């Protein structure tokens, strides 16, 4: 039996899944963790305490369950929340908690500085996308300007996957899909590090080291002795370069195909549309190479989704309330939430507005509204944001098929709302997660099966379900969507004034 292990380090948990090269599911486990929010707009995690210790814990649990023989493991894949910025010293030790992806919006001034000093034309030509809270470069500059002692000691700035693959193999790698998010220190047009910008904003004399660029399914190396001992696995198991959790989840969802738009329902929302035609620039979205050479991906994302649900539960539901409690209560409110519309920009917003200072809004409240209405309005608000993104994606790529996966598809209410709001059929994968995608990518990287076989295995494991839109509900939602679209423009100036407090 050939066993493949996938590990996904997400915003709120680390997951591990073991499958066979024939697509047989062997077992899964997970370990919850939290993010640190030291100030408004900040989001951080400890690389060793959260990422590495979480990875070790879930591997130990799989091994201890005895669901496979360790000698049968033929490949390991890892994905992580991306892109993050982790500064390391000359001994490769973390100097501070990692600054997380687009949910961390601290670097607004640095984003403005890059855009102003480099100019829109240069930014788009070199880097393919505008600087945003999803871009890692401004967060490196934030460290330089706000934590100079840490900056002076730093010798590397790396995302989570790069750090995890180093801990497993001893090799410094970064995949082609995530690399463009390190603008302006990585160039999209040449797919290489931008030495001019590194010299200008970081300084070559400081001796910074940058990882080698590989494809996500390339083998980075064998499991090194120290890591093998930690994990209780044999030394030398092939470990692939890996990628962002969204790409791995789209692999698990069998969504990496031309004409598909993958929606990852997690703490935030990530969109990935795969295309055979090169898309190297976008003023709104995040273009990058895809999983393998010859493929391209256009990605986008909303800052809050599951995290908004979690916030409502934590702040307004009784202690100990679950996601099931939330969805059951939201289900008692009718489509349209009895006249409420929520703008879900509770952590700023990424696409399509790219505004870290955007703020959440609930409009239409009266004394007759209750927690059920507010809960449903949150689900509908995220759905309106998804429709907004779908419309903008389709202006670039034409009509797209929706494929959904992630924690948010567990309860059918949310996915049905989204299909109704978008008036689109949606295929959801009920048994899928990024860890499964990591395992499948590891199998492809290790040469156990082809790209086509990987897709068929994903469908077999995922058990797809098709959701059809309800036209009656669409008529209600369409009216509210028009209000939703006008809210941001009508309140942007006021939101920015509040963000400055």
Tens digit of each residue's pLDDT (9 = 90 or more) over 268-306: 898 999 888 888 888 899 888 888 888 888 999 999 999
Per DSSP, the residues of 465-489 read EEE---HHHHHHHHHHHHHHHHHHH
Order of strands, sheet of 269-275, starting from the edge strand that comes earlier in the sequence: 286-289, 296-302, 269-275, 260-265, 401-406, 426-429, 464-467
* pTM (predicted TM-score): 0.84
Q: Which of 381, 392, 405, 386 is nearest to 467 (CA)?
A: 405
* Residue among 281, 278, 286 nearest 258 (CA): 278
Query: Helix, strand or coil for residue 173?
Result: strand
Distance of alpha carbon 102 from alpha carbon 91, whole angstroms: 28
356 and 271 inside one domain: yes
Asked if 238 and 262 sit in the same domain, the reply is: no
Q: What is the DSSP string of 334-387?
A: PTTTTT-EEE--BTBB-TTT-BTT---EEES--TT--HHHHHHHHHHHHHHHHH
Between CA 106 and CA 108 the distance in angstroms is 6
User: Over 70: is that where the pLDDT of 464 sits?
Assistant: yes
Query: Range with the lowest mean pLDDT among 72-76, 300-304, 428-432?
Result: 428-432
Strand partners, 18: 5, 27
User: Residue 27 is part of which domain span?
Assistant: 3-245
Same domain, 273 and 225: no
Same domain, 366 and 476: yes
192 lies in the same domain as 325: no
Mean pLDDT, range 351-378, rounded to an integer: 95
Residues 6+ apart with CB under 8 A from 380: 335, 336, 337, 341, 342, 417, 421, 477, 480
Are both 285 and 179 inside the same structural domain? no
Considering 192, 224, 245, which residue would you say is the last residue of a domain? 245
Q: Of 216, 245, 274, which residue constitutes the final position of a domain? A: 245
Q: Considering its fold, how many domains does the chain have in total?
A: 2
Summarised one tens digit per residue, pLDDT across range 315-333 is 999 999 999 999 999 999 9
pLDDT confidence tier of residue 206, bands split at 50, 70 and 90? low
- Summarize the confidence of residues 481-486 as an average pLDDT: 97
89, 338 contact by CB (below 8 A): no
Residue 147 has pLDDT above 80, yes or no: yes
Q: Which two tokens stand for residue 188?
A: 């999209």
CATH number for the domain that contains residue 123: 3.30.420.40
The verdict on residue 140 lying in a domain is: yes
Cβ pair 149, 171 in contact under 8 A: no
Pairing of strands 243-244, 73-80: parallel
In a domain, 286, yes or no: yes
Q: What is the 3-state secondary structure (H, E, C) of 320-341?
A: CCCHHHHHHHHCCCCCCCCCCE
CA angle 417, 422, 424 (to 5 degrees): 95
Choose the final residue of a domain: 245, 280, 303: 245
Residue 109 within any structural domain of the chain: yes
What integer pLDDT is reported at residue 441 of this predicted model? 97
In the beta sheet, which residues pair with residue 20? 3
Q: Mean pLDDT of all residues in the chain? A: 93
Establish if 463 belongs to a structural domain. no
């Amino acid at each position: 039996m050939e066993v493949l292990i996938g590990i996904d380090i997400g915003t709120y948990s680390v997951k591990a899944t073991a499958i066979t090269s024939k697509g047989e599911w062997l077992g899964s486990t997970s370990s919850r963790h939290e993010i640190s929010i030291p100030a408004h707009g900040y989001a951080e995690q400890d690389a060793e305490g959260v990422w590495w210790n979480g990875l070790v814990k879930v591997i130990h649990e799989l091994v201890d369950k005895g669901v496979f023989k360790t000698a049968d493991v033929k490949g390991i894949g890892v994905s992580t929340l991306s892109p993050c910025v982790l500064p390391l010293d000359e001994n490769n030790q973390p100097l501070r908690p990692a600054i997380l992806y687009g949910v961390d919006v601290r670097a607004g001034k640095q984003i403005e500085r890059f855009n102003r000093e480099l100019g829109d034309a240069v930014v788009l030509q070199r880097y393919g996308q505008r600087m945003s809270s999803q871009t890692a470069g401004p967060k490196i500059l934030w460290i330089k300007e706000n934590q100079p002692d840490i900056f002076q000691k730093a010798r590397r700035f790396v995302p989570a996957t790069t750090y995890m693959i180093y801990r497993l193999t001893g090799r410094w790698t970064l995949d082609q899909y995530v690399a463009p998010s390190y603008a302006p220190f990585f160039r999209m047009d040449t797919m290489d590090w931008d030495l001019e910008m590194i010299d200008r904003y970081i300084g070559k004399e400081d001796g910074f080291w940058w990882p080698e660029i590989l494809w996500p399914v390339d083998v980075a190396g064998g499991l090194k002795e120290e890591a093998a001992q930690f994990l209780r696995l044999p030394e030398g198991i092939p470990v692939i370069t890996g990628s962002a959790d969204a790409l791995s989840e789209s692999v698990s969802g069998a969504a990496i195909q031309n004409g598909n738009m993958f929606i990852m329902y997690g703490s935030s929302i990530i969109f990935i549309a795969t295309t055979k035609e090169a898309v190297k620039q976008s003023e709104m979205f995040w273009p990058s190479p895809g999983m393998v050479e010859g493929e391209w991906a256009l990605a986008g994302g909303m800052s809050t989704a599951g995290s908004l649900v979690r916030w409502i539960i934590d702040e307004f539901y009784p202690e100990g309330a679950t996601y099931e409690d939330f969805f059951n209560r939201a289900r008692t409110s009718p489509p349209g939430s009895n006249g409420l519309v929520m703008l879900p920009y509770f952590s700023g917003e990424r696409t399509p507005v790219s505004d870290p200072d955007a703020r959440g809004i609930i409009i239409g409240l009266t004394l007759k509204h209750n927690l059920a209405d507010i809960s449903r309005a949150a689900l509908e608000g995220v759905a309106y944001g998804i429709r907004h993104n779908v419309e903008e994606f389709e202006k670039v790529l034409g009509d797209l098929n929706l494929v959904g996966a992630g924690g948010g598809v567990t309860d059918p209410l949310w996915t049905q709302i989204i299909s109704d709001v978008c008036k689109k059929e949606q295929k959801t994968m009920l048994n899928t997660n990024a860890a499964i995608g990591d395992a499948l990518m590891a199998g492809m990287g290790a040469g156990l099966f082809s790209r086509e076989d990987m897709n068929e295995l994903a469908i077999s494991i995922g058990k797809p379900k098709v959701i059809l839109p309800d036209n009656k509900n669409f008529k209600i939602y369409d009216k509210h969507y028009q209000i939703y679209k006008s809210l941001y423009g009508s309140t942007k100036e006021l939101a920015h004034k509040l963000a400055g407090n």
